[in-house]
Every structure is written in structure tokens, then in C-alpha cells.
Chain A
Amino acid sequence: MPSEPPDQTAAPPAEQLVTDIEVSTLIAPRKPIGSSPDDDQTGVRALLSGLPEPDPMPAYVVERISASLAAEQAQRAVLASGASVSPLLATRRRPRRLLFSLAGAAAAVVLIGVLGNNLVRDNSSSGVTSAASSGLASAARESSGLAPPSSADKAVRGNALTAASIQIRVSTVRYTLATFEAQARKLRDVAFDSPQPMATDTSDVGPIGTTRGLTSCLSAIGAGGAQLVQADLAFYEGQPAVIIVATTDGVPTAYAVGRGCSQADASLLHQGIVLP
């Protein structure tokens, strides 16, 4: 039904109404609503676009995601080498504790530090990959047997552990004094363990999450000669800690240290105990 014309002094004949509508349509064709930003007459678009941008991604989120991506990369590298692996870090829907296992029956494989030092801490717009991340790539190549380690890789790893296996993971396991031995045994046997939820805050990780940092810590606690090292970035007695199972000549010893453990300061939270 045609709309009424503004001037209603006399009703026009129906044919003229139809003609008027057709002409007006030709003169002013209908324009889709919101076809361009300039179509907004409400002022809402200007209001919304004028709001300040949120702050950059918080450091703890950067670290957390960096750790996840490093874990994914490590898993990808191990899978590419043909080794068996359990995932290290939890996925969102089915939280699991993941561990990178060593490649086959080979004597010694150096695996990747899950948390690259600069990669974790870098919030600047310029840096991207760090020595640890390059170490990630180098270790991946090494574990797949593609290329021998470079001098940079050896520098990253340090001199103490020249032919060692290092496994680092992040978890939300809460180790306690009372149950430390049992929990540490579980860490030692973690390749066969059930999944665990992922750590939700990795802001305190620091250098201990890197191969170099862990090596430095091992020297401080007297485990620098270990041939196999399993480290869990978790919690001890409610505080962020690193649980280390260092196996020397077939004897596993478990320690709990603070996240700041280094050659200068062991930050020992739990004395080493030999695991049966």
C-alpha cells in the first residue's frame, strides 16, 4: 500500500501515487543502513572508538602463553624426531601435566628449556626470540639428529651437564614437606603419570626455567654431575618453587628450591633426599 503524500488537501488518483513513489525511489534510492562508518548519526561509534586502548598483555599472561608455545614447539620437535612424548602443558579443556620424554635408547639428549629467558620476560616491541629460544631450535635439531650443537648451544647449556638429559615442565602440583618423597617419586616416574593441571601463574619463573639457569642451580645444590634432571616448576609448601629430581650414576635425589636458585644462592627449600 503506498504511503500518503505530505499534502493531503486532495487525494491523488491511485495511478499518480504509484508514479510518485517510483520517481522518488529513483531520485533517492534506499541506502543500506550502516554501510559506512559515516552513516552513524548516533555518536556511539565516535564514543566507542575514542575509548582508550587496554594496556598491553600483562607480563604474567605473556609468560604463561610463551611457556605453552615453547612446550608445543618442544613437543613438535620430539615428534618430528620420532620419539615418544607425553604432552607437557595442559590444554584448556582437559588439563594435563605434560612431560617431554627423551628420544629412544640414545645415550643422552638435551631437551628444550620450556621457558626461554628473554622470550618469557620480553615485553618490548623489539625483541622476539632469545638465546633460550634459539637454544630451543638448536636442541630440537640436535634431538632429531640433524645437526651437532653449536658453540652457542653449548654456552647456553653450560659446561657441567655436557651429556645430560634435562626435562623441565610447569605444573600446579603443590608439593608439601609431609608428602615430598612420594610426590618426588611421582615426578621421577612422571612419564607414566596421569595428567595434572597446568600452572596458572608463571610470573616468578625467571632464569630457573632455562637450561642454563637450571644448570647453575644444580651446581649450587651439589647435583652438577647429574646425568638426568627432571624439574617441575610448581609449588612447595604454598610458594612458587622448583622440584628437582637429579639422577647421578643411577641414583635419583629430589630437592625443592626457590625460583631464584642459582650458583650464587641455592635457595634450598627441601634438602636432597634419595628416592627409593
Chain B
Amino acid sequence: MSRLDDLLEMSDRELLSAHCAGDPDAFGEIFRRHRDRMWAVALRTTRDPEMAADAVQEAFIAAFRRADSFRGDAAVTTWLHRIVVNSCLDRLRRIKPVVGLPDADHHDLADRHDHLHSVDVRLDVQRALEQLPEGQRMALVLVDMHGLSITEAASILDVAEGTIKSRCARGRAAMVPLLGLPAPPDLPESHPLKEPMAPS
């Protein structure tokens, strides 16, 4: 079995352990496996390809150097996500303040329910996401767009699971008027759409 085959057979944890033990090729395999995923997270978080490239580069270098800080209490991908997200948020916070919820009347985002996969829908969704507070936006990016579990998202963002759930609910509720979606019927009184809008 070639060296390449050996690497392909190894789990993420085994690769990280091998890297910490001095294996010169192990981290390259980690990068190869997860680069597209991390790129997607960075791009959706920053909305800027150049910033995303900087953030992902810094993140992988940091992961390379701090691999021995991985405690094994979460998946390697969760650990990588955390480093990438923090790198992205650091950059975003440096260049612009946290954006609060604007008045819905000031936005002219048409109802695109009939064109879910069009470029227009994607742009509308992206613009709507940008209007959310950072906490809600990140919760939706990780949970709804990337399909991570509440537990994983909580670990990545270093908050309680209940906080993630709340941010998801409030973020989705905030997106409804921004996207011109109809308010769903039969919502419980406790649902954010039935409460006054407030940042998380």
C-alpha cells in the first residue's frame, strides 16, 4: 500500500495525531479533505472571496501550528470550523460594526417563492442574511445552510445549545419579512414572529 493509500485510510483524528507526531504529509490530507467545506463556510460568512481566502489561509496555518491543542472532545471538522469561523468574524468585526435589524419597510426584497433556485433568490437571501445580527446570521449559516447540528454549531460558536436554537428561530423569523415571505399560520404565542423584533 502506498503512502497515499495510507493517508486516505486514516481518519481525521488519526491524521491529526500523525501530524502532531511529526508526519510531514498528514496535515496536507486534512487540508485536501476539508478545504472546500471550509471555503464554503468562509465565503458564506464573509461574503467576500478575498477576505474568505485570507481567513481560510490563516485558519489552516493556525490549525497546523496548534494541532496539539485539539482535545478530541469534538470532531476534527468541528474544530476546523471553529477556527475558520473565528478567523472570518475577526476580519468582519475589524471592518464593519455589527449590523442590527433594520426596519422591514426600508427593504424592497420581492417575494421569490416561485423562483427558489434563481440567482435573484440567492442574492435576496444573501442580502437578507447580511441584515441579521452576527449571532443569528452565523447560526443560520451553520445550521440551515451547512446542515450542522445544533450541538456542532454551539461548539463552533462556543455558546449554549439553547442560544443556537434561539438565534435560529429569531433569525428565521427576521428573514420572513425581509424576503417577503408570508407569515406562517398557527404559530405559538412564544414564536419570535409573534414577538417584537429584537436582536439576539
Using CB atoms, name the residue of chain B closest to A30.
B190
Quick one: closest A residue to B126, CB to CB? A51
| Count of B interface residues, CB-CB < 8 Å | 60
Interface string of A36-63 (1 = CB under 8 A from B): 0101111111011111111011100110
A62 and chain B: residue at smallest CB distance = B35
Considering the complex, give the chain A residue whose CB is closest to the CB of B191.
A33
Stretch in contact with the other chain, from A11-19, A69-77, A219-227: A69-77
Q: Does A161 touch B at the CB level, under 8 Å?
A: no
Tell me whether A127 is interfacial, beta carbon within 8 Å.
yes
How far is it, in angstroms, between the C-alpha of A19 and the C-alpha of B32 when the chains are bound? 62
* Cβ of A35 under 8 Å from chain B: yes
Tell whether A42 pairs with B56 under 8 Å between CB atoms, given A127-B4, A129-B7, A129-B28. no
Q: With a 10 A CB-CB cut-off, give which of B57, B65, B181 has the most chain A CB atoms.
A: B57
Contact across chains for A51 and B176 when beta carbons are under 8 A apart: no
Partner of B125, one of A51, A53, A57, A62: A51
Contact of B165 among A30, A34, A69 (CB under 8 A): A34
Q: Does B130 contact A (CB under 8 A)?
A: no
Q: How far is the CB of B82 from chain A (nearest CB, A)?
A: 17
Stretch touching chain A among B36-44, B72-80, B96-104: B36-44
Question: What is the CA–CA distance of A39 and B150 in the complex, to the nearest angstrom?
Answer: 13
Indicate if the CB atoms of A91 and B165 lie closer than 8 Å.
Answer: no
Q: Are B145 and A137 in contact (CB under 8 A)?
A: no
- Residues of chain B with a CB closer than 8 A to A136's CB: 24-25
Tell me the residues in window 41-91 of chain B with beta carbons closer than 8 Å to chain A beta carbons: 43-44, 49, 53-54, 56-58, 60-61, 64-65
Q: Is the CB of A33 within 8 A of B117?
A: no
B65 touches A73 (CB 8 A): no
B109 at the interface (CB under 8 A from A): no
Do B64 and A69 touch across chains, with their CB atoms under 8 A apart? Answer: yes
Q: What are the residues of chain B within 8 A of A133 when measuring CB–CB?
A: 24-25, 28
Chain B interface mostly:
helix
Are B43 and A34 within 8 A (Cβ)? Answer: no
**Cβ A49 vs Cβ B184 within 8 A:** no
A61, B125: Cβ atoms closer than 8 Å:
no
B61 touches A68 (CB 8 A): yes
List residues of A (97-139) whose CB comes within 8 Å of B's CBs. Answer: 119, 122, 127-129, 133-134, 136-137
Instruction: Report whether B39 and A44 are in contact in the complex, using a CB–CB cutoff of 8 Å.
Output: no
- Min CB gap B42→A, angstroms: 9
Q: Does any Cβ of A come within 8 Å of B193's Cβ?
A: yes
Give Cα A58 to B52, complex, Å.
11
CB of A49 within 8 A of CB of B144, answer yes
Minimum CB–CB distance from B48 to chain A (whole Å) comes to 13
Contacts of A80 in B (CB 8 A): 22
Check A54/B28 contact, CB under 8 A, given A65-B60, A68-B61, A69-B61: no
> A140 contacts the other chain (Cβ, under 8 Å)?
yes
B128: nearest chain-A partner, CB-CB:
A44
Q: Is the CB of B31 within 8 A of A65?
A: yes
Q: Which of A45, A47, A54, A137 contacts B25 (CB 8 A)?
A: A137
Residues of B within 8 Å of A44, CB to CB, are 140, 144, 171-172, 175-176, 179, 181
A93 → chain B, closest Cβ, in Å?
A: 8
Q: Judging by beta carbons under 8 Å apart, are A140 and B24 in contact?
A: yes
Cα–Cα, bound, A43→B125 (Å): 12
Which 9 pairs across A and B sit closest by C-beta, in order of nearness? A48-B144, A57-B39, A44-B172, A34-B169, A41-B184, A34-B165, A137-B24, A92-B58, A33-B169
- Other contacts beyond A32-B165, A47-B121, A128-B7: 20, CB < 8 A: A33-B191, A34-B165, A37-B143, A41-B184, A47-B179, A48-B144, A52-B117, A54-B39, A54-B40, A65-B31, A68-B61, A77-B24, A91-B58, A91-B61, A128-B4, A128-B32, A129-B7, A133-B28, A134-B25, A140-B24
